[in-house]
Chains A and B, each alone.
Chain A
Amino acid sequence: MTTAAVNARAQALRKSKIRQFVTPEGVDLELRIASSGLRLGALLIDICLIQLILLSFTLLMIWVLGASQSSIAISIWMLGAFLLRTFWFIGFELGQRAATPGKRLVGIRVVARDGGRLTADAVVARNLIRELEIFLPLTFIGFSAAEEMVNWWTMLAGFVWSLTLSLFLLFNRDRMRMGDLIAGTWVVMAERVTLDRDIAAAAEAAAGALTFSDAELAVYGIFELQELERVIRAADARAMREVADTIRAKIGRPVAEEDDVFLLSYYRQLKARLERKLLFGKRREDKYASD
Chain B
Amino acid sequence: MRPSISGSAPATPAFSTSRFRAEREADWIAFDALLARLEKKGAKALSSEELLQLPLLYRATLSSLSIARATSLDKALLDHLEALSIRGYFLIYGVRQSRLDRMKRFLLHDWPAAVRSVWKETLLIVLILLLGTLTSWSLVTHNPEWYYNFIPEELAGGRDPRASAEFLQGTLGHGRAAGEQEGALHMFATYLFTHNSQVSIMSFALGFAFGIPTMMLEYYQGISLGAMIAVFTSKGLGFDFGGWLFIHGTTELFAAALSGAAGLRIGAAVVFPGARGRLQAAADAGRTAGKVMVGVIIMLLAAGLLEGFGRQLITDTLLRYGIGTLMLLFWLGYYYLPRPETGI
* Chain A residues within CB distance 8 Å of chain B: 23-25, 27, 29-31, 70-72, 74-75, 78-79, 81-82, 86, 96-98, 109, 111, 113-114, 117-126, 128-129, 131-132, 178, 181-184, 190-196, 198, 200-201, 204, 211-212, 214, 217, 222, 225-226, 229-230, 233, 269, 271-276, 278-279
Contacts and interface: CB of A to CB of B under 8 A. Distances in A.
A75 B83 contact: no
A276 B86 contact: no
A184 B4 contact: no
Contacts of B286: 121-122, 125-126, 181-184
Contacts of A196: 76, 80
Contact of B83 (A111, A121, A190): A190
A248 B92 CA distance: 49
Given A29-B86, A30-B82, A122-B283, 20 more contacts: A23-B62, A25-B59, A96-B39, A98-B94, A124-B293, A124-B294, A128-B201, A129-B205, A131-B198, A131-B202, A183-B283, A190-B83, A191-B83, A193-B83, A195-B25, A195-B76, A196-B76, A198-B22, A229-B74, A233-B76
Chain A interface mostly: helix
Contacts, number: 200
Nearest to B286: A182
User: Nearest 8 A-B pairs (CB), nearest first?
Assistant: A184-B283, A125-B290, A182-B286, A132-B205, A121-B290, A201-B18, A124-B290, A196-B76
A132 B259 CA distance: 14
Contacts of A129: 205, 208
Given A27-B62, A78-B187, A201-B18, A217 B9 contact: yes
A116 to B, nearest CB: 8
Contacts of A109: 90
A182 B6 contact: no
B153 interface: no
A184 B114 CA distance: 17
A175 B76 CA distance: 27
Contact of B287 (A121, A200, A269, A271): A121
A75 to B, nearest CB: 4
Interface stretch (B63-71, B138-146, B161-169, B325-333): B63-71
